[in-house]
Amino acid sequence: MPAAELLALAPEDVAARLAYAQAARHATLELTQRAAWVSTARLLQSALAVPEAASWTVMLEYDLLRLEKRADLVILTDRAVLVLEIKDGAAAYSPADLRQAEDYALDLRDFHAGCRGLPVVPVLVATHAPPAPFNPPLIWHGVPQPFRANNRTLGETLLAAHAAIGAPANPLDHAAWFAAPYRPVPNVLEAATMLFDRHRSAEMVSARADAANLTRTTEAVRRAIETAREGGQHLAVFVTGIPGAGKTLCGLNIVFGALRGDGAAFLTGNAPLVEVLRESLVRQATSDGRRRNQSRGQAVTALQNVHRFLEHYVERPDERPAERVIVFDEAQRAWDRAQATRPSQRRGASKLTDSEPAHTLEIMGRHADWSVIVALIGNGQEINTGEAGLAEWGRVIAAAEGWRAVAPSRALSAPLAAQRLADGPQPWLTLDDDLDLTVPMRSVRDPQGAPWVDAVLSGDGEGAARIAREAGGVPYFVTRDLQAMRAALRHLSRGLRRAGLVASSGAKRLRAEGLGVQAADIPHWFLDRWPDIRASDALETYATEYDCQGLELDQVGLAWGGDMLRGPEGWHMRNLSGARWQTVRNPTERAFILNTYRVLLTRARYETVIWVPRGSPASDGPWHDPTRDAAELDAVAEHLLACGARPLATEPAAPVPERATLL
């Protein structure tokens, strides 16, 4: 509302309007919340009763559409966006509250098109805190450090910040700001939580309505399911995509979105992903007042380990699954027959007698009328022995009576035969390129990150350098110092952004460089925050490719290991055997190691800081360690820098230019 209208209302009327809006969100309203709104209205009426604020626009409880994030107050002036977090009754400016205010401002800067090129100024108002010194810097654009005010200094703080920005050549058009799209890019955990909540699933869909690529693919899957339902068919639907294009989000939308009435389930062999998603849903549901056991039961039903799902129904050949639609995550990693039937030391003899694709078709085919398998395919992310690839899916579909498939043409064009669904057109296959996700969504600011990684790993140094140059830089930094990487991650992770360290499971000699502890409890690592020492942002432990595939962090610190080095003939892959590295010559094993680094290099939503250890130089004499030879590691760092990664400054400035914000 205009500031003048706010000044004309009674504080109780302001609170009543906010209460009405709260009810529309299906949210409960506490009396303490209503009292806080009345107090906030009085505070604003006092702070904004100046001529300079007469033309400002005030937005209370501004919804940021990511979990339950709502900024207490957003103010549009003629030159800036002010974001206020108000802590009524607070007697101090706590670090947590400062981070929260900063995070709201960063959200608007990154995701609201109307904030492009404008200062977005966070202000923490702790109403009973002592006055804070205020010497505003000259503000141009972006998000400065949060300012501090109390109930007596708020007005002068807002006016001082306003004056520090300076009069614009063209005043901010408030109507145009309201019309500009707000396009949040929730991470996987945020997306799952919003979709899991029936009241907020519509918000999740509308929040990503701008992502035409994702919307088109989700609609193609819906069409295929309707075709199977109406025609009484058994159908396998293959969704392909580049890393970070939203395959997991697409699958979660099927399970938790409009199709949840069909009892869809999300199946994955990625145990850490299941654990983290389940715990995240339970924590959020519990915070919303729902029972923990009930929420866990719902999460367990919707998110299942694919190996346990298959074993359950193989042991019960007369039982049909409750689900008619299943989403098979990372389906190219389904086990082949040899791996599926291999005895397990942990669980005894395997209960499976064929490949996982073959068992999946048999189990879902038990429905007499119709069923659908939505297979999510992560190109170039095969990282383990025994992964059957797309070829096994094609083989079993061709041999299974009554089954058909829909897939994009990408599924037929992979360079490796094992990753092709079929060699050319097939009578059982329909092509639909709407099922191919080609636009990166994980990288919030720079969509050129994924193509750059592809060029780096394919050995195309000139192509990678060209991508970086044309993009004005890519969000990848290189350092040779472990402590510098940690300091940079803490510097980059403003607000509530989350950082963490990752490393290859084959990087066995990192322990000699000072990093040798792998994360033991992945749900705590991804969900808890510092000062919990188990949290990722403690930067003490690292996650491997198995821990973090399918998940993401805001900032990533990648510790480069000795298992993949750069030589005159390209990438050199190795396995540590005893006290020595052994060259990996098997093409499949080499591809696994290459894909490990593809997974690790594409985990960040913002920046990735790559630490290449200095290693042991030859000058160490008798103490020279050939398992971490300095010259070999130097070659890796030089290659990454030649490809366009940036050398890490001691205190990196704004890591990515404002123009690169994804809007």
445 pLDDT band (50/70/90 cuts)?
A: low
Across the range 450-479, mean pLDDT stands at: 94
Integer CA distances (angstroms), 383 to 333, 440, 502, 615, in order: 8, 21, 15, 26
DSSP assignment letter at 553:
B
Q: What percent of the chain has pLDDT over 70?
A: 84
- Looking at residue 278, its pLDDT comes to 82
Listed in sequence order, the residues at least 6 apart from 232 whose beta carbon sits closer than 8 Å to its beta carbon are 369, 370
Q: How many residues does the chain have?
A: 663
- Looking at residue 627, its pLDDT comes to 96
Higher pLDDT: 229 or 264? It is 229
CA distance 334 to 329: 9
Listed in sequence order, the residues at least 6 apart from 104 whose beta carbon sits closer than 8 Å to its beta carbon are 64, 69, 71, 83, 85, 122, 495
| Amino acid type, 203 | E
Looking at 362-371, 388-397, 413-422, which range is the least confident one?
A: 413-422
CA distance 422 to 591: 21
Residue 345, pLDDT > 60, answer no
Residue 328, pLDDT > 70, answer yes
Sheet containing strand 70-76, edge to edge, reads 57-63, 70-76, 81-87, 120-126, 147-149
- Looking at residue 250, its pLDDT comes to 81
Residue 339, pLDDT > 90, answer no
Q: What percent of the chain has pLDDT over 90?
A: 52
- Looking at residue 28, its pLDDT comes to 54
* Tens-digit pLDDT profile for residues 359-381: 999 999 999 999 999 999 876 55
Residue 24, pLDDT > 90, answer no
Strands (E), 275-333: 303-305, 325-328
Residue 455, pLDDT > 50, answer yes
The closest alpha carbon to 387, from 205, 574, 596, belongs to 596
- Kindly state the tokens that stand for 663: 């809007």
CA dihedral 172, 175, 176, 181 (to 10 degrees): 120
Residue 199, pLDDT > 60, answer no
| Under 8 Å between Cβ of 158 and 75 | yes
CA distance 191 to 500: 20
Listed in sequence order, the residues at least 6 apart from 327 whose beta carbon sits closer than 8 Å to its beta carbon are 251, 254, 255, 264, 265, 266, 267, 374, 376
CA distance 418 to 429: 17
**Phi/psi of residue 408, nearest 5 degrees:** -80, 160
Q: Measure CA of the first residue to CA of the last residue in the chain; give whole Å.
A: 25
Listed in sequence order, the residues at least 6 apart from 209 whose beta carbon sits closer than 8 Å to its beta carbon are 215
- Looking at residue 536, its pLDDT comes to 96
Higher pLDDT: 92 or 415? It is 92
- Looking at residue 210, its pLDDT comes to 45
Across the range 643-663, mean pLDDT stands at: 57
- Looking at residue 249, its pLDDT comes to 78
| Under 8 Å between Cβ of 608 and 556 | yes
- Looking at residue 658, its pLDDT comes to 37
349 pLDDT band (50/70/90 cuts)?
A: low
> For the chain, which domains are there?
3-179 (no CATH), 188-437 (3.40.50), 449-660 (no CATH)
- Looking at residue 624, its pLDDT comes to 95
- Looking at residue 499, its pLDDT comes to 97
Alpha helices in 503-619 (DSSP H): 522-527, 545-548, 587-601
Residue 211, pLDDT > 70, answer no
HEC letters along 501-516: EEECCCCHHHHHHCCC
Residue 497, pLDDT > 60, answer yes
* Tens-digit pLDDT profile for residues 93-134: 999 999 999 999 999 998 898 998 899 999 999 999 999 887
Across the range 277-294, mean pLDDT stands at: 69
| Amino acid type, 610 | I
Residue 654, pLDDT > 50, answer no
